[in-house]
């Protein structure tokens, strides 16, 4: 037991004295010590309830003769930091969360860890932190929020703002949407980043079966927490660490399921980051190969009509996963935290998964995938597009260039944008932003002002899982390091082809070279920890992690 370093009698008497002061009894010192990393915070509905879940986990851990110790991490809320400078801290928070879990876990010499996450960055943060500890680990998703009045949610509010500025709704209507869209606790309710990463965690094998599709405020979520707490003892007895569970194939399983369900582009960055931290050889090209020919089968928001809570009401995703294993689309022979394989976990599940939300794979919502990985002279390291298909699959247009998100929003709300315009928002990458902000505000503004199907948006920043329209993000190399995106001028021609997966700036090599020679990099002044991210973050095509090595 690692924890003997703080619990062994008599040489650890001083450490034990400290532990007695926080409630330890004599027999607690002989038990496995299990850290419970809670991302509780009342700054956001996503995590507002997680203290209750942490207590349920502690109950489950202690009932199976282990000793649970709850500790907190920080969290930020993407829904609140979106559209302002706070978003620069969002992706960085993933790494601070993973670092904090690693630091507490190592300093406290815990034997096992259960982490609970409920927002876009704290879910991958928890997973990466557990990977760095490499001890028996379980991830618990905090669960989804229910839709608000008239089936609205956070994205409805962002999009209503564009409608308000375009005089399509009144101030009173906007206020009503603001008041009644988000009620209660839980993660944003569509197939956005949190729900997508939760499903990824189940496919990775590090969460209990069906736990990724649960309402935040539900009895099932509490039971899931107790059961997870109970289960850690088996992982500890058998020394099944997280690195024995997550591997290249489980990551590929996850990305395939997310792509089929029309999930968030952010999952690509997070799963690449998890692979990097585990030293798994996985590239954006590999992910393109694995997902390129998949259809889109779900009618979930942001592009579709349904919320995750609707999916819960129609039976979740277990039948669907079983079907994917049966047709060999995902690998069912991989180990999970139950000690069984993915396939064994699903052996009693019937495979008829189809519903109004999940369509027949042979008669999908869209024959091609909403998410496409593109390469070309505009992004030699690759970028990620997400299109529902309603906007067309090839976009050709003239550029309108902005060096920050704020510049673009001012323009979108105040000026009329011509059809076939390609908006470029650059210097928003990991180093250039710094922080690789999400462009939910500009993408929602384009929808709100009614030009969603006639305008495309390209950025070296990211998109929220809630973004839709013809959007291309993660352009790499980013502008700050001299990527071709930094060389674009107003009215240049760009073609985005999501059928053949390329993105090109239509300029001669001679002109590109000329512009490269006179390039003036925009260097944004930043303070404090953003300097750390600016200095040590790696390329978005590799997960945009802080890399200290």
**Burial class of residue 148, CB neighbours in 10 A (0-12, 13-18, 19+):** buried
Looking at 187-195, 222-230, 232-240, 299-307, which segment touches ligand FES (CB under 6 A)?
A: 187-195
Query: Rule CB under 6 A: is residue 358 a binding residue for ligand FES?
Result: no
H/E run at residue 104: helix 90-108
| 187 is a contact residue toward ligand FES (CB under 6 A) | yes
Interface size with ligand FES, residues (CB under 6 A): 10
- Shortest CB 125 distance to ligand FES, Å: 12
Segment interacting with ligand FES (CB under 6 A) among 186-194, 255-263, 416-424, 445-453: 186-194
Q: Which of 132, 175, 145 is nearest to 157 (CA)?
A: 175
Find the binding residues for ligand FES in span 107-136 (CB under 6 A). 119-120
- Alpha-carbon gap, residue 410 to 421, rounded angstroms: 16
- Is residue 309 near ligand FES by the rule CB under 6 A? no
Under the binding rule (CB under 6 A), the answer on residue 78 touching ligand FES is yes
Residues involved in catalysis: 464
Q: Are 420 and 500 in contact (CB under 8 A)?
A: no
In terms of CB distance, is 119 or 324 closer to ligand FES? Answer: 119
- The H-or-E segment that residue 532 falls in is helix 529-536
The conformation of residue 278, written as its DSSP 8-state character, comes to T
SS3 content of the chain, % helix, strand, coil (to 5): 40, 15, 45
Contact 301, 190 (CB under 8 A): yes
Residues 6+ apart with CB under 8 A from 103: none
- Stretch in the footprint of ligand FES (CB under 6 A) among 77-85, 266-274, 304-312, 519-527: 77-85
Among 188, 258, 446, 457, binds ligand FES (CB under 6 A): 188
> Residues 54, 96, 194, 400: which binds ligand FES (CB under 6 A)?
194
Query: Given the DSSP bridges, would you call strands 137-141 and 112-117 parallel, antiparallel or unpaired?
Result: parallel
Nearest approach in angstroms of CB 263 to ligand FES is 13
Stretch that binds ligand FES, among 73-81, 428-436, 510-518, 532-540 (CB under 6 A): 73-81
83/223 Cα distance (integer angstroms): 37
Minimal distance, residue 121 CB to ligand FES, in Å: 9
- Cβ proximity to ligand FES, 77 vs 253, nearer residue: 77
Which one of the spans 6-14, 72-80, 205-213, 412-420 is the region binding ligand FES (CB under 6 A)? 72-80
Contacts of 533 (CB under 8 A, 6+ apart): 91, 92, 95, 430, 431, 434, 435, 546
Kindly state the smallest distance separating residue 11's Cβ from ligand FES, in Å. 45
Dihedral pair phi/psi, residue 256, rounded to 5°:
-65, -45
Give the Cα separation of 324 and 169 in Å (integer): 43
The residue within the footprint of ligand FES, chosen from 79, 162, 302, 304 (CB under 6 A), is 79
Residue 405 near ligand FES by CB under 6 A:
no
Q: What is the smallest separation between the CB atom of 145 and ligand FES, expressed in angstroms?
A: 8
Nearer to ligand FES, 191 or 246 (CB): 191
Give the C-alpha distances (Å, rounded to integers) separating 164 from 167, 170, 419. 5, 6, 21
The distance of closest approach from Cβ of residue 264 to ligand FES in the complex, given in angstroms and rounded to an integer, is 10
Contact 70, 104 (CB under 8 A): no
In the complex, least distance from residue 156 CB atom to ligand FES, rounded to whole angstroms: 13
Range list of β-strands (E), 79-144: 112-117, 137-141
Q: Which is nearer to ligand FES, 93 or 291 (CB)?
A: 93
Please report, as residue ranges, which positions from 38 to 67 form the binding site for ligand FES (by CB under 6 A). 44, 46
Contact footprint for ligand FES (CB under 6 A): 44, 46, 77-79, 119-120, 187-188, 194
């Amino acid at each position: 037991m690692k924890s003997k370093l703080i619990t062994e009698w008599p040489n650890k008497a001083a450490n034990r004295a400290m532990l007695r002061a926080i409630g330890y009894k004599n027999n607690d010192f002989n038990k496995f010590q299990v850290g419970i990393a809670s991302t509780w915070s009342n700054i956001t509905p996503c995590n507002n309830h997680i203290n209750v879940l942490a207590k349920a986990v502690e109950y489950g851990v202690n009932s199976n003769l282990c000793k649970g110790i709850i500790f907190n991490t920080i969290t930020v809320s993407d829904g609140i930091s979106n559209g302002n400078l706070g978003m620069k801290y969002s992706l960085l928070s993933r790494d601070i969360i993973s670092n904090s879990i690693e630091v507490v876990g190592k300093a406290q010499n815990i034997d096992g860890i259960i982490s609970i996450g409920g927002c876009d960055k704290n879910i991958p943060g928890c997973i990466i932190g557990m990977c760095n500890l490499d001890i028996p680990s379980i991830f618990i998703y905090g669960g989804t929020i229910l839709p608000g009045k008239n089936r609205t949610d956070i994205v409805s509010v962002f999009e209503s703002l564009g409608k308000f500025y375009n005089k399509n709704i009144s101030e009173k209507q906007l206020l009503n949407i603001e008041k009644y869209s988000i009620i209660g606790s839980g993660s944003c309710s569509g197939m956005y980043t949190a729900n997508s990463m939760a499903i990824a965690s189940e496919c990775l094998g590090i969460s209990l079966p069906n736990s990724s599709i649960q309402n935040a405020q539900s009895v099932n979520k509490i039971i899931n927490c107790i059961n997870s707490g109970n289960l850690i003892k088996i992982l500890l007895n058998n020394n099944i660490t997280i690195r024995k569970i997550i591997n290249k194939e489980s990551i590929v399983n996850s990305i395939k399921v997310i792509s089929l369900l029309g999930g968030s582009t952010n999952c690509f960055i997070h799963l690449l980051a998890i692979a990097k931290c585990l030293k798994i050889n996985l590239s954006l090209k590999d992910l393109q190969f694995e997902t390129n020919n998949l259809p889109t089968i779900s009618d979930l928001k942001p592009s579709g009509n349904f919320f995750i809570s609707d999916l819960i009401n129609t039976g979740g995703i277990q039948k669907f996963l079983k079907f994917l294993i049966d047709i060999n689309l995902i690998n069912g022979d991989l180990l999970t935290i139950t000690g069984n394989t993915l396939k064994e976990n699903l052996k009693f599940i019937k495979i008829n998964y189809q519903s109004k939300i999940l369509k027949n794979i042979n008669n999908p919502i869209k024959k091609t995938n909403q998410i496409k990985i593109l390469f070309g002279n505009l992004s030699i390291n690759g970028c990620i597009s997400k299109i529902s298909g309603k906007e067309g699959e090839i976009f050709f247009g003239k550029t309108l260039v902005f060096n920050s998100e704020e510049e673009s929003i001012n323009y979108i709300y105040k000026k009329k944008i011509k059809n076939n315009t390609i908006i470029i928002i650059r210097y928003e990458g990991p180093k250039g932003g710094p922080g690789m902000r999400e462009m939910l505000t500009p993408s929602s503004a384009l929808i709100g002002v009614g030009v969603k199907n006639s305008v495309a948006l390209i950025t070296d920043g990211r998109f929220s899982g809630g973004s839709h329209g013809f959007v291309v993000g993660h352009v790499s190399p980013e502008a700050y390091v001299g990527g071709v995106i930094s060389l674009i001028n107003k009215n240049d021609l760009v073609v985005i082809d999501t059928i053949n997966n390329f993105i090109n700036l239509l300029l001669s090599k001679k002109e590109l070279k000329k512009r490269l020679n006179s390039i003036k990099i925009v260097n944004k002044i930043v303070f404090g920890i953003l300097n750390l991210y600016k200095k040590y973050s790696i390329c978005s095509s590799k997960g945009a992690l802080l890399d200290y090595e």
